Chain A
């Protein structure tokens, strides 16, 4: 039985820090999705006039940058065998709070500081409910997300759309400016990717996230601080969402707090799952998020150029996800028999 593992052990090291410690499962879907991305990209470039231009590629990256940042946050939680449905609320409410505070005269530092505090608070709330009260993360984060969005809409903001105040223009570059043609929002995505990659691959808490997602029982018995690790991963996801919120509001010059009611969170999950980070935890890494984001961005961009309707684009998105998951399970059948290869 051990023979079947020989090929997977000699894999390329192309993605370096972006890889998780888990190998075969995440890796193979990564390969498939990368291939799919290259194929679609080449086909578009050959067939679609206006796709393979610098301007369009930059547009493509800009449209998915925020989604990619959110995907990175979600990836941390999913690797730790959880899910964070409150990310859109953590994106909208703390960043709208920053805009509002700045507009009403607080200094930029105080405003952002309070925004971070709120994001951390949301994460701690999620984490404590999941880790210590042992409520499934699906329900916890759904409820917390709705609650936080409600708090924002009822208590904090006068209007549903909070506009970008001129007092914050000193940091407006994170969503608007560009360096050497690359928009800062794309750079923000890359920077987040590198930081999350270093965290997951190069630090002890990052490895603990993998361990607790892989096998919580073993992690606990080994003496890993399982519950603090869980709290930490939710704090990280909501802080990353807050950062995504700042980028988004800077680029659109406002924060629409109704964003929570949209289906955006599904896109975030789509990016993570499409890239090959299994929902069963412990698998995948930053490379999976990047490739998932690029694939979705490319597909959608091409459809927009072809002037396909929004409803049709939704259909395509669903099909792409199905195809990716299907291809993975065809190539790596994951039934009980192959999962338990301990004995011949």
Chain B
């Protein structure tokens, strides 16, 4: 059988530095091919070349055995290659049908016409989406369905999924996997990029692993297990260090730093009560919509007070109500955001300045003059102690890999010397090596006597880190576990029922 897509010696240089080098890759019709690797391994560059976004420096792309040149994404689309990005490319204020047919409308576009066409098309795909619904009212999974439908509408034979499950809840994920099976049944070849290794193992037929822009291994999925994948990805065995052993010692609780009682925020947080103690990692597990982020954003002042409907927040026994994060900063509270691109770092500034910014903000209006040498010293000190790796000292944060970006955001908060540190999804979009370092950092902070909160939807992570486990559901904490006797099944059961 001829592969539907074949790459021969594909290479891309950026300023003489190879981002991917001499990659050979085949994709069979109806195959799900997982593409794995750490951030910076070259997955995105490779798929961008396939999708016509980036031009290869050397090498060939063959479709059905014939060499093609894909200069623009439109060329790739015409050739039957569609890409479904992590951040959806839909217009939120338009309806499903309008989004589906965007760019292919007739000059006189009849809404009724496209609604009917969309309805028929969605039914043919067995997607349960109302074509007249406005996209911004839909959940992440439905949005993804629309993206997929759009790809199918352009008669795509090859679909590239870049981190498709990152924003989905477990139920939605299950639905997504069913979808992939349907697509596969129709003979569509799929390239699947993910950080979630279990998913790749469950869903794919073959797995290709990249490391530092080069091809490491391609093999049948059955020949892989988690340990082998991780080892191939990082070139060292990290799986033990990361999630291998079950927690057997827990830190005893210290002073009660935070107490939340009967907190209500909009309709996201409903009568939430919880406590956080010093010298411990408190893990908060919950699905999207469980109000866990909102609760801690109120604690740190990141959510405005006018959304706060009731309840009390006590810091070290003192009742507080913050309007802005600047106030909680004074009480030594730091909230490290789950969305570093939107509210994490300053993209035009260097790493050093980003980190030093935390210190400057802490000092507020005092000390009018800046001392550059001091800023540089602080920045260097912290990027060294957190092992932030960049091509040059003056590199901007936007040019770093996800893991290094996350470390910059963490450093920016830790430089403020907080006593209560709230990590919201600290390892989302972070490569395996950096995950281990961030976990070590979280443990070290707790050992130093800080109160640490880790919000995560990744069970192995939260079970590995926490000394206490809180499970949130529909706006409040519903159950508390000790990590010694908790299992993934029990936590998930508490989170969904």
Is this pair of chains taken from one and the same complex? Answer: yes
A214 close to B302 (CB less than 8 A): no
Q: Which of A204, A225, A283, A342: most chain B CB closer than 10 A?
A: A342
B329 close to A215 (CB less than 8 A): no
Q: Which of A201, A203, A342 contacts B405 (CB 8 A)?
A: A342
A22 close to B348 (CB less than 8 A): yes
Provide the bound-state CA to CA distance between A340 and B86, in Å. 12
Provide the bound-state CA to CA distance between A206 and B368, in Å. 9
Q: Which of B39, B343, B349, B399 contacts A220 (CB 8 A)?
A: B343
Provide the bound-state CA to CA distance between A223 and B357, in Å. 9
**Contact of B416 with A by CB under 8 A:** yes
**Contact of A210 with B by CB under 8 A:** yes
- For B255, the chain A residues whose CB sits under 8 A away are none
Chain B 370-400 interface 0/1 with A at a Cβ cutoff of 8 Å (1 = within): 1000000000000000000011111110111
Scan residues 15-51 of chain B and give those whose CB is less than 8 A from a CB of chain A.
Answer: 15-17, 19-20, 39-45, 48
Q: Which of B54, B328, B392, B395 contacts A337 (CB 8 A)?
A: B54
Q: Which of A208, A225, A226, A344 contacts B41 (CB 8 A)?
A: A344
A23 and B44 in contact (CB under 8 A), knowing A204-B368, A337-B54, A342-B39?
no
Q: Which of B40, B42, B302, B368 contacts A221 (CB 8 A)?
A: B302
**Contact of A311 with B by CB under 8 A:** no
**Contact of A6 with B by CB under 8 A:** yes
A215 close to B346 (CB less than 8 A): yes
- For A9, the chain B residues whose CB sits under 8 A away are 391-395
Chain A 265-305 interface 0/1 with B at a Cβ cutoff of 8 Å (1 = within): 00000000000000000110000000000000000000000
**Contact of A5 with B by CB under 8 A:** yes
- For B365, the chain A residues whose CB sits under 8 A away are 204-205, 225, 228
With both beta carbons as reference points, the residue of chain A lying nearest to B360 in the complex is identified as A204
B15 close to A23 (CB less than 8 A): no
- Of B59-67, B334-342, B483-491, the one contacting chain A is B334-342
Provide the bound-state CA to CA distance between A214 and B40, in Å. 25
A341 close to B399 (CB less than 8 A): yes
**Contact of A101 with B by CB under 8 A:** no
With both beta carbons as reference points, the residue of chain A lying nearest to B330 in the complex is identified as A223
Provide the bound-state CA to CA distance between A343 and B194, in Å. 13
CB distance from B419 to the nearest CB of A (A): 15
- For B393, the chain A residues whose CB sits under 8 A away are 9
Provide the bound-state CA to CA distance between A221 and B422, in Å. 12
Q: Which of A1, A202, A227 contacts B369 (CB 8 A)?
A: A202
Q: Which of B335, B360, B405: most chain A CB closer than 10 A?
A: B360
A221 close to B350 (CB less than 8 A): no
Chain A 300-344 interface 0/1 with B at a Cβ cutoff of 8 Å (1 = within): 000000000000000000000000000000000000010111111
CB distance from A194 to the nearest CB of B (A): 15
A218 close to B14 (CB less than 8 A): no
**Contact of A150 with B by CB under 8 A:** no
A21 close to B350 (CB less than 8 A): yes
- For A263, the chain B residues whose CB sits under 8 A away are none
CB distance from A174 to the nearest CB of B (A): 27
Provide the bound-state CA to CA distance between A210 and B367, in Å. 17
CB distance from B233 to the nearest CB of A (A): 14
**Contact of B53 with A by CB under 8 A:** yes
**Contact of A77 with B by CB under 8 A:** no
A343 and B402 in contact (CB under 8 A), knowing A4-B15, A222-B361, A337-B53?
yes
B346 close to A218 (CB less than 8 A): yes
A2 close to B391 (CB less than 8 A): yes
Number of interface residues of A (CB under 8 A): 48
Interface residues on B, range: 35 or more
With both beta carbons as reference points, the residue of chain B lying nearest to A217 in the complex is identified as B343
CB distance from A201 to the nearest CB of B (A): 8
Scan residues 456-494 of chain B and give those whose CB is less than 8 A from a CB of chain A.
Answer: none
**Contact of B208 with A by CB under 8 A:** no
**Contact of A241 with B by CB under 8 A:** no
Provide the bound-state CA to CA distance between A134 and B433, in Å. 42
Provide the bound-state CA to CA distance between A111 and B405, in Å. 53
Scan residues 160-214 of chain A and give those whose CB is less than 8 A from a CB of chain B.
Answer: 201-208, 210-211, 214
A344 and B45 in contact (CB under 8 A), knowing A9-B392, A204-B369, A205-B365?
yes
**Contact of B401 with A by CB under 8 A:** yes
**Contact of A25 with B by CB under 8 A:** yes
- For B391, the chain A residues whose CB sits under 8 A away are 2-3, 5-6, 9
- For B328, the chain A residues whose CB sits under 8 A away are 223
Provide the bound-state CA to CA distance between A4 and B362, in Å. 34
Provide the bound-state CA to CA distance between A231 and B400, in Å. 33
CB distance from A344 to the nearest CB of B (A): 5
A342 close to B400 (CB less than 8 A): yes
A217 and B370 in contact (CB under 8 A), knowing A2-B390, A24-B396?
no
B337 close to A221 (CB less than 8 A): yes
- For B41, the chain A residues whose CB sits under 8 A away are 344
A215 close to B398 (CB less than 8 A): no
Query: Which residues of B are in contact with A by a Cβ distance under 8 Å?
Result: 13-17, 19-20, 39-45, 48, 53-54, 213, 302, 324-326, 328-329, 335, 337, 341-350, 353, 357-358, 360-365, 367-370, 390-396, 398-402, 405, 412-413, 416, 429
**What are 8 inter-chain pairs, A to B, with CB distance below 8 A?**
A5-B391, A5-B396, A9-B392, A204-B360, A205-B368, A211-B357, A214-B349, A283-B348
Query: Which residues of A are in contact with B by a Cβ distance under 8 Å?
Result: 1-7, 9-10, 20-25, 201-208, 210-211, 214-215, 217-228, 282-283, 337, 339-344
